[in-house]
Amino acid sequence: MTQTVPVPHGLPMQRDVSPFDPSSQLTRLREARPVSPLVFPDGHEGWLVTGHDAVRQVLADTRFSSRLDIGVVHVPYETPGMPTPVEPSPQMPGVFVSMDPPDHTRLRKRLIGAFTVKRMKMLEEHIMDIVERQLDELARLTPPVDLVKEFALPVPSLVICELLGVPYEDRETFQTNSTRFMTRDLPLEEKITVVGALTTYLAELVMAKRAQPGEDILSDLAAQEDLTIEELTGVAFLLLLAGHETTANMLALGTFALLEHPEQLAALRAEKDLMPGAVEELLRYLSVADVFYRYATEDLELGGETIPKGSTVVVALLAANHDPQRFENPSTLDVRRQARGHVSFGHGIHQCLGQQLARIEMRAGFDGLLRRFPTLKLAVPAAEVKLRTDMNIYGVHELPVTWTQTAS
Ligand code: HEM
């Protein structure tokens, strides 16, 4: 193992090669040392895992704990000056993505039934209706328009609101706060305020559902008396945020990527059957949720390195999804590729609970958009598209698009 690779200070995540590919430093690191030491901005040492095999290994092994609180403290990287984490941080009740078994298992298993492939299949037509209605609204507008605001964000927000029983009219409140929450270097005090606002809103909602249940996932959960209001609030917080931010960014960045690869776009328009595979490929190629954190609960061997107990371990999903040892020509967007085996939904016990839902939304969303807007194109030069380099979920802040309007 080479020792000459420079140890990165901070995370080399800025996509400097193109708006889509991993940063050049990340690629160099993966080639030279797929499990590398890392120095966080606050000076404490950690590990950065970039190889596909090693990333899967970390995610499959619960000795790499998820107990890093995403609620307030998040990870040390975001709070420079924080002492080296020798203990897992305190947890936000209900937010099971940052829990280990048995707590994780206890909460996740309550939701598995609501998110099965079968349940999601039953929702497919309804999701397609939501997409069509949103496309009707889009078609009524005079281009150029921002595709994020008018399509990519509303579709998953409408879907998750309906599933959870969150009033869509309240979206101003939760979307503003969730955007703030997803901002990478948000000062801790502001993060506390934002989490406070979201949890106050959601706590009132779940209390109302416990008193008067409706026909939605949060009502079903609220009916389970052994779950506390704090836990219900945390679950709602996790589902609401995870349920719309990621899919919205996939829809917008995916459209941008397709517009920038006209031959791929043409293939997809010509052969509708390519859509499910194309969605997997876009998930792989773009990896919008590109960074996750774990914590070594004991000394652990990984990729020929020893990760000491107490280390913060960063898994770089984008780097893993662009590992040439796993995917040939990883920097090529190829809608015909068999992209199975990507880690965009994670792996192991925390693998994305909403992946079937997200797939249905993306297939319906891209399919409808391409069908209804055959002349869709960027309304600004690609270099002017505002990239979400400052956010925890990557994507575009806005996607100005235009099309030729036909007289109707
Ligand atoms: C977990 C990605 C959409 C709910 C995860 C994880 C990833 C991910 C990588 C694993 C986190 C970890 O290991 O720490 C994505 C992407 C999406 C998406 C790329 C869209 C394209 C959704 C949707 C929902 C959702 C629509 C709807 C509810 C969750 C939940 C977890 C999770 C609840 C935590 C699972 C657990 O800890 O057991 N997601 N997700 N996600 N996702 Fe998604």
Q: What is the pLDDT of residues 259-300, one digit of tens each?
A: 999 999 999 999 999 999 999 999 999 999 999 989 888 999
At residue 186, the pLDDT reads: 80
Does the CB atom of residue 356 touch ligand 1 within 6 A? no
Tens of pLDDT, residues 34-54: 999 998 877 778 899 999 999
Q: CB of 220 within 8 A of CB of 206?
A: no
350 lines ligand 1 (CB under 6 A): yes
98-102, 144-148, 204-208, 347-351 — which is least confidently predicted?
98-102
Ligand 1 atom 32, closest CA: 352
For the Cβ of 244 lying below 6 angstroms from any atom of ligand 1, the answer is no
Residue 242 Cβ < 6 Å to ligand 1: yes
| 243 vs 276: CA distance, rounded Å | 20
Least confident of 16-20, 184-188, 377-381: 184-188
pLDDT of residue 304: 96
Cα of 224 vs centre of ligand 1, distance in Å, is: 23
Which is the closest atom of ligand 1 to the Cα of 163?
28
Pick the residue whose CA is nearest to atom 38 on ligand 1: 350
pLDDT computed for residue 76 by the predictor: 41
- At residue 407 the predicted structure's pLDDT band, cuts being 50, 70 and 90, is low
Is pLDDT at 80 greater than 70 in this prediction?
A: no
Ligand 1 near 19 CB (within 6 A)? no
**353 close to ligand 1 (CB < 6 Angstrom):** yes
Choose which residue among 61, 246, 313, 349 to substitute to test ligand 1 binding: the one with the highest number of ligand atoms within 8 A of its C-beta: 246
Percent of the chain's residues with pLDDT above 90: 73
Cα–Cα distance for residue pair 266/106, rounded to 1 Å: 46
Mutate which of 120, 231, 352 for ligand 1 pocket (most atoms within 8 A of beta carbon): 352
> What structural domains and CATH numbers belong to the chain?
24-402 (1.10.630.10)
Task: Report whether residue 243 contacts ligand 1, using a CB cutoff of 6 Å.
Answer: yes
More confident residue, 73 or 16: 16
Q: Is the CB of 327 under 6 A from ligand 1?
A: no
pTM for this prediction: 0.94
pLDDT at 75: 45
Interface ipTM above 0.85: yes
Alpha carbons 217 and 112: distance in angstroms, whole number:
11
Q: From atom 41 of ligand 1, which residue's Cα is the shortest distance away? A: 354
What's residue 82's pLDDT? 43
Residue 120 clears pLDDT 50, i.e. is over it? yes
| Alpha-carbon gap, residue 282 to 109, rounded angstroms | 29
State which ligand 1 atom lies nearest to the alpha carbon of 357: 26
At which residue do the structure tokens 């297939």 appear?
363
**What local confidence, expressed as pLDDT, does residue 208 receive?**
97
- Per the structure block, which two tokens stand in for 30? 């993966």
Provide the sign of the torsion angle of the four alpha carbons 177, 109, 289, 153, taken in this order.
negative
Interatomic CA distance for residues 77 and 104, integer angstroms:
24
Strand partners, 305: 302
Q: Which tokens go with 320?
A: 């893993």
Residue of 117, 279, 345, 362 best suited for mutating to test ligand 1, as the one with most atoms within 8 Å of CB: 345
* For residue 83, pLDDT beyond 70: no
